[in-house]
Amino acid sequence: MLPPDNRPLPTDDVAPEFPENRSAADESDARLQADEDFRRAIPAQVFLNHFSALSLHLKNAQPDEAAPLPRLLKFRPKLRPDTEATVKRLLGNAWSTEYALRQAASQRDDPFASNTLYWTFPQAFYSVFFSLRAFACLRGLTVSEDETTLRRFTGRLVSTGYYPAALSFYADGDYNQPSLHGLPYGRHTPERLATPSAERDAQAQLGQFLRATRRLQFTQLRESNQANPGLALRNARTGAILTRFGAGDWRKLTPLLGPTTFYDLLARLRISDNYREVERYVEADIDFQLFHQSLVQVVETLNGVHETYVARALGPAVYREYLKSLRPYLRQAASERFEEYIGTILQA
């Protein structure tokens, strides 16, 4: 015989848990949480939009904007044996880091994809950083040069035709009137927080980044300059260090800054030791797969440009032999890029 069921019978005053029975307070709390989640996601979405815009801009480039390097034919550096060894080592570092980035980007598990930002951000930056240093060595810079020198070096290369047209966009000019180059739609206002889907949108996002970043760079430069008594701009009448700048004061700092380029966007990928900035992106509701795809596209394109100059300096035969010496997992991507992109440009 079964024991009696002593559970209380349901009563009419206990409402089932249906959405229509939720209180106004619950709905208000849900809306507030959704608004807070959206607010926290804004910096991450803006950052994603900038890289998505650069990736789309590269994809949309016409063949004559994506491949030719106007300065390549006249690029004939004299290589010393130690320089050649350094360049090969730097390229090896670039390819190893790019391989790790591609492996992480190939993951389809969204929670895993978001957490990989802790290492894919610096991987994307340092892969290009190493290949750019290899190129810089061919132009006479040493490995010991600081990053500020490398940034200004990149700005000169971008503004003087060492990159294809699709990468030759930059901002220069002073704090109050920055000038955009290479982006016909760069001064259009991008749709707020919308991922770019057309070339006009992509250029608007890139233009927005360049202008905002350049103003921030000027502000940082003013702070560092005015903190140095030997360099600080002073009041002509009293000799006191200026705390407020006019248009003429900003113009005096312009030669110290150099052009603002794609390098400054990549530099944002570096993260501090406490990971606070990257945590904002990991916790945000954004398209992590698109973020990784954009990073890979940008890294592959930039590394391909730098590798082309290295292959030109070493000679195609020597470069091919170097590729054969690589480990198989590195050789495949580097060899494919040489056959599909670099070799074609060198033969043009």
Question: Given 210, 225, 260, which residue is the final one in a domain?
Answer: 260
* Residue 252 placed within a domain: yes
Let me know whether 236 and 96 are in one domain: no
DSSP 8-state code for residue 338: I
Let me know whether 85 and 157 are in one domain: yes
Rg of the chain over Cα atoms, rounded to whole angstroms, equals 26
Let me know whether 252 and 174 are in one domain: yes
Let me know whether 107 and 250 are in one domain: no
* Residue 346 placed within a domain: yes
Check if the beta carbon of residue 337 is closer than 8 Å to that of residue 304. Answer: yes
* Residue 52 placed within a domain: no
pLDDT number for residue 273: 44
Let me know whether 83 and 123 are in one domain: yes
pLDDT number for residue 263: 96
pLDDT number for residue 35: 46
pLDDT number for residue 110: 63
pLDDT number for residue 142: 82
pTM of the model: 0.83
* Residue 70 placed within a domain: no
Enclosing domain of residue 339: 79-161+286-348
Question: Given 225, 260, 295, which residue is the final one in a domain?
Answer: 260
Domain count within the chain? 2
Let me know whether 153 and 176 are in one domain: no
d(CA 100, CA 286): 22
Mutual angle of helices 288-314 and 328-337, in 10-degree steps: 80
User: Which regions in the chain score pLDDT beneath 50?
Assistant: 1-2, 10-12, 14-15, 32-35, 37-38, 273
* Residue 50 placed within a domain: no
Q: What are phi and psi of 244, to 5 degrees?
A: -125, 140
Q: Which two tokens stand for residue 90?
A: 């730097």
Check if the beta carbon of residue 193 is closer than 8 Å to that of residue 49. Answer: yes
Let me know whether 157 and 290 are in one domain: yes
